[in-house]
Amino acid sequence: MFHRRHLLALAAAPSLVSLPAWAQTNPVRIIVPFAAGGPIDVTARVLAEAVKDSLGTVIIENRAGAGGNIGVGAVARSAPDGMTLGIATTASHGINPWLFRQLPYDPVKDFVPITQMLRVPNVLVINADTAQRLRINSLADLVAYAKANPGRLNYGSGGNGSAGHLAGELFKSQAGIFVVHIPYNGGAPAQAALLGGQVDFNFDNLATAAGNIRSGRLKALAVTTAQRTQVMPDVPTVAETLPGFEIDTWWGLVVPAGTPAERVGQLNAAFTQALNAPAVRERFATLMAEPAPSTPQAFGDLMNRERAKYERVVKLSGAKVD
């Protein structure tokens, strides 16, 4: 939760936009396509508080299920009046179009982008005892061992088609190695298996893995972003060993197609100001999330690039969920 001084700092920030009367009496709604309490939900609630002087009351509505498809579909079916926003994620707008045979929305035609909100680095982590036993101290060591011992290593993920699974398959392809994928029913069981030594390594969310990295139970070999993260600058990128490798987790705001351009501009101004506010950036840093405010065009371009990338990765993995 925000400290009181953070709320005061945000409340003191000048409003960027002058709202019409209808926007002052009707609350803005942000549909979060995941359950309450997770990082996407938490960041949406932080922003809802931060933009209240610009946009009035903002309420959060959680609609979880089907990998985010239920909530995102609800956004697509909402009135295009600029009063209902939704969270677009790596899953909903990058992975799911290729993972599901049918979606309750068209990721291109049904939405107008507002701004990217955040990016969260993922990290390749290996069980510390395994690393010591096999003398794996770097990503190059891991690749060399896997090449010399095909099928001897395995990695866990939160399930077929999950971000960790797809990162692992892309890694295998680019490194030219064969390791065994072991899917679990969610990220928490996959992490427990890694800590218990049932699997050798995982691609995990940095925010989830950081505590065990710092305690020494897990060894971070590389982050999956194009550049090193400010949170752990000593950890190299996968791309430093395998050029061109880049996978991270992102999410941002969209509205239904047909929303007036003037309202899109108002929403972009309010949310990008909030994302740049020092108090908000400080709060997100505790979640190891990096604010990434953007123009609507830039966020739309990102989603297009990610969708094209994951078409190849999902086909490579062979994953399907229906």
Other CB atoms within 10 Å distance of the CB of residue 303 = 24
pLDDT of residue 208: 85
pLDDT higher at 43 or 12: 43
**Cβ-contact 256, 112 below 8 angstroms:** yes
Which CATH architecture does the domain made up of 4-120+248-317 adopt?
3-Layer(aba) Sandwich (3.40)
pLDDT of residue 10: 36
Distance CA 260, CA 258 (A): 6
Average pLDDT over the chain, rounded to an integer: 90
Reported confidence tier of residue 19, pLDDT bands at 50, 70, 90: very low
In the three-class reduction of DSSP (H, G, I as helix; E, B as strand; rest coil), residue 1 is classed as coil
pLDDT of residue 8: 37
pLDDT higher at 320 or 123: 123
Q: Is 287 exposed, middle or buried (0-12, 13-18, 19+ CB in 10 A)?
A: middle
Handedness of CA 169, 171, 173, 176 (dihedral sign): negative
DSSP string, 174-213: HHT---EEEE-SSHHHHHHHHHTTSSSEEEEEHHHHHHHH
Report whether pLDDT(1) > 90.
no
From the list 175, 181, 135, the residue with the least C-alpha distance to 154 is 181
Other CB atoms within 10 Å distance of the CB of residue 214 = 11
Distance CA 194, CA 106 (A): 36
pLDDT higher at 7 or 40: 40
Report whether pLDDT(56) > 80.
yes
In the three-class reduction of DSSP (H, G, I as helix; E, B as strand; rest coil), residue 19 is classed as coil
Percentage with pLDDT > 90 across the chain: 76
pLDDT in tens, 187-244: 889 999 999 999 999 999 888 898 999 999 999 999 999 899 888 899 999 999 999 9
User: Where does CATH 3.40.190.10 sit in the chain?
Assistant: 122-240
User: Where does CATH 3.40.190.150 sit in the chain?
Assistant: 4-120+248-317
pLDDT of residue 24: 52
Which CATH architecture does the domain made up of 122-240 adopt?
3-Layer(aba) Sandwich (3.40)
DSSP string, 113-159: EEEEEEEEEEEEEEEHHHHHHHT--SHHHHHHHHHHSTTT-EEEESS
Residue type for 70, please? I
